[in-house]
């Protein structure tokens, strides 16, 4: 399939509106996802990037209506398994949501080992998943073998193994195959390669891209590793302090970032091939969810901040919305001069 490279979202598979995740803490209300709005285009790979603790995992859980107790998920999340067939994700019953998860929206989290049952072979994991969802097991196992081969695994050998017999890279690929065996529309991946070495991460990223292209999948790929998504994502959404501060086509975000935070993130890596370990941290600390600064939440770390930024929270918008590149900053026009990009080279697929 030819991948969609639309700049704006024309055929959304998710419409996320005014969506908040909050926890009642002794210290006060903690909003760990704060009234976010975003659309996900059918068939795209959306990279969601942000520092540790910025709310990335909360966003992933929200898309699956799987926020853990006592977290409160509010707002509207509409899922379109097919165009013009909206499903209101937050009003589904427990049994309805269980069916949507895995069958329509599947997920892969960091650390495959904790997702597998150590006493069951990989084959039994596939068989059980197919049987629980009333799929034809024999037909499904053929698909499992294809998926494993597509991920460059010896399917028979892997299926006969127990989780502890596989290396980190093999088990993470086996988990990706398992997450796709029910032919979901969407795959939500939360730091799926974080525990692996750089070479294995890059090779898995290439495989994910290939599988997304071949199988017409929508992928929401969540990471704190901006260089990692550069070659994977069609669009990039940047989270800062539990809100999206910039969203746009990947190439534009990487080469003409509009938000000072995105530019600081880009400047923290000499080039997009740099291992994360060599990245320089951005000065200042990410906000605590109980005491997010007033106005623009980035203002305490921002070289452009003035009284307006301390007072008013800028909307996520653009003067040219047809470009599909929006940022939440009062001073988008002056950002390029004030925070020049130091990246030497951007090698991404335009
Ligand atoms: N059960 C909980 N109760 C209260 N706060 C929580 C709970 N789980 C997470 N948080 C807080 O929610 C905020 C966002 O967490 P989240 O896991 O989404 O961040 P993240 O961007 O995925 O970070 P990381 O990359 O470190 O996983 C953090 O401040 C975290 O401390």
Structural domain boundaries in the chain: 12-104+184-338, 117-182
Query: Rounded distance, CA 140 to CA 134, Å?
Result: 10
Q: Which atom of ligand 1 is nearest to the CA of 54?
A: 21
Rounded percentage of the chain residues whose pLDDT exceeds 90: 63
The predicted structure's pLDDT at residue 203:
87
| Residue 276: band (very low, low, confident or very high) from pLDDT cuts 50, 70, 90 | low
Which residues contact residue 77 at a Cβ distance below 8 angstroms, ignoring those fewer than 6 apart? 14, 15, 16, 17, 19, 62, 63, 65, 88, 89, 90
pLDDT tens-place string over residues 138-187: 999 999 999 999 898 999 999 999 999 999 889 999 999 999 999 999 99
CA nearest neighbour of 50 among 350, 305, 253, 295:
253
For the Cβ of 111 lying below 6 angstroms from any atom of ligand 1, the answer is no
The predicted structure's pLDDT at residue 5:
60
Query: Rounded distance, CA 77 to CA 58, Å?
Result: 14
| Residue 347: band (very low, low, confident or very high) from pLDDT cuts 50, 70, 90 | low
Q: Which residues pair with 31 in a beta bridge?
A: 22
DSSP H or E segment with residue 307: helix 307-311
The ipTM of this complex is 0.92
Residue 338 φ/ψ region, left for φ over 0, alpha for ψ in the -120 to 50 degree band, beta for the rest: alpha
Q: Which two tokens stand for residue 303?
A: 């070289």
Is residue 66 over pLDDT 70?
yes
Taking the complete model, does pTM exceed 0.80, yes or no? yes
Is residue 214 over pLDDT 50?
yes
**Mean pLDDT computed over every residue of the chain:** 89
For the Cβ of 289 lying below 6 angstroms from any atom of ligand 1, the answer is yes
Beta carbons of 264 and 342 less than 8 angstroms apart: no
| Residue 121: band (very low, low, confident or very high) from pLDDT cuts 50, 70, 90 | very high
Number of H helices, E strands in the chain: 13, 11
Query: Rounded distance, CA 32 to CA 17, Å?
Result: 15
pLDDT tens-place string over residues 294-343: 999 999 999 999 999 999 999 999 988 889 999 999 999 998 888 888 76
Is residue 90 over pLDDT 90?
yes
Give distance in angstroms: CA of 222 to centre of ligand 1: 13
Give distance in angstroms: CA of 33 to centre of ligand 1: 9
Query: Rounded distance, CA 262 to CA 245, Å?
Result: 8
Is residue 58 over pLDDT 50?
yes
For the Cβ of 56 lying below 6 angstroms from any atom of ligand 1, the answer is yes
pLDDT tens-place string over residues 135-151: 999 999 999 999 999 89
Give distance in angstroms: CA of 88 to centre of ligand 1: 25
Give distance in angstroms: CA of 202 to centre of ligand 1: 26
Q: Token match 């803490």: residue?
A: 25
Beta carbons of 73 and 23 less than 8 angstroms apart: no
For the Cβ of 174 lying below 6 angstroms from any atom of ligand 1, the answer is no
254-270 exposure pattern, b = at least 16 Cβ within 10 A, e = fewer: beebbbbbbbbbbbbbe
pLDDT tens-place string over residues 217-251: 999 999 988 888 888 999 999 999 999 999 999 99
For the Cβ of 222 lying below 6 angstroms from any atom of ligand 1, the answer is no
More confident residue, 3 or 70: 70
Query: Rounded distance, CA 113 to CA 121, Å?
Result: 12
Which phi and psi angles does 126 have, rounded to 5°? Answer: -65, -45
For a ligand 1 pocket test, name from 30, 31, 32 the mutation site with the most ligand atoms within 8 angstroms of its C-beta.
32
The CATH number of 12-104+184-338 is 3.40.50.300
Give distance in angstroms: CA of 237 to centre of ligand 1: 18
CA nearest neighbour of 293 among 31, 113, 48:
31
Residue nearest to atom 4 of ligand 1 (CA): 23
């Amino acid at each position: 399939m030819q991948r969609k490279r639309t700049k704006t979202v024309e055929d959304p598979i998710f419409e996320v509106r005014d969506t908040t995740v909050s926890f009642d803490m002794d210290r006060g209300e903690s909003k760990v996802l704060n009234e976010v709005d975003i659309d996900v285009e059918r068939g795209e790979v959306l990279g969601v990037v942000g520092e540790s603790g910025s709310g990335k995992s909360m966003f992933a859980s929200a898309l699956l209506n799987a926020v853990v107790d006592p977290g409160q998920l509010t707002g509207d999340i509409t899922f379109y398994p097919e165009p013009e067939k909206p499903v209101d994700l937050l009003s589904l019953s427990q049994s309805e949501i269980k069916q949507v998860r895995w069958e329509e929206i599947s997920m892969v989290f960091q650390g495959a080992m904790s997702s597998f049952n150590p006493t069951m072979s990989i084959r039994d994991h596939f068989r059980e998943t197919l049987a629980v969802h009333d799929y034809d097991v024999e037909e499904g196992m053929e698909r499992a073998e294809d998926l494993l081969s597509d991920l460059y695994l010896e399917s028979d050998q892997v299926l006969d193994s127990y989780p502890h017999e596989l290396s980190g890279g093999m088990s993470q690929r086996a988990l990706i195959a398992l997450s796709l065996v029910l032919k979901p529309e969407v795959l939500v991946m939360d730091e799926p390669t974080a525990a692996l070495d750089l070479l294995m991460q890059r090779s898995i990223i290439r495989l994910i891209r290939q599988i997304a292209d071949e199988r017409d999948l929508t992928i929401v790929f969540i990471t704190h590793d901006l260089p990692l998504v550069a070659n994977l994502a069609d669009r990039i959404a940047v989270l800062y302090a539990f809100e999206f501060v910039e969203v746009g086509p990947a190439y534009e975000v990487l080469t003409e970032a509009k938000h000072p935070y995105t530019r600081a993130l880009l400047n923290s890596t000499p080039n997009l091939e740099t291992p994360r370990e060599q990245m320089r941290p951005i000065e200042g600390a990410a906000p605590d969810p109980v005491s997010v600064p007033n106005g623009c939440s980035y203002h305490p770390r921002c070289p452009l901040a003035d009284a307006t930024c301390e007072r008013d929270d800028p909307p996520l918008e653009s003067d040219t919305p047809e470009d599909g590149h929006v940022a939440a900053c009062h001073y988008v026009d002056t950002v390029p001069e004030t925070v020049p990009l130091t990246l030497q080279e951007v090698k991404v697929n335009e």
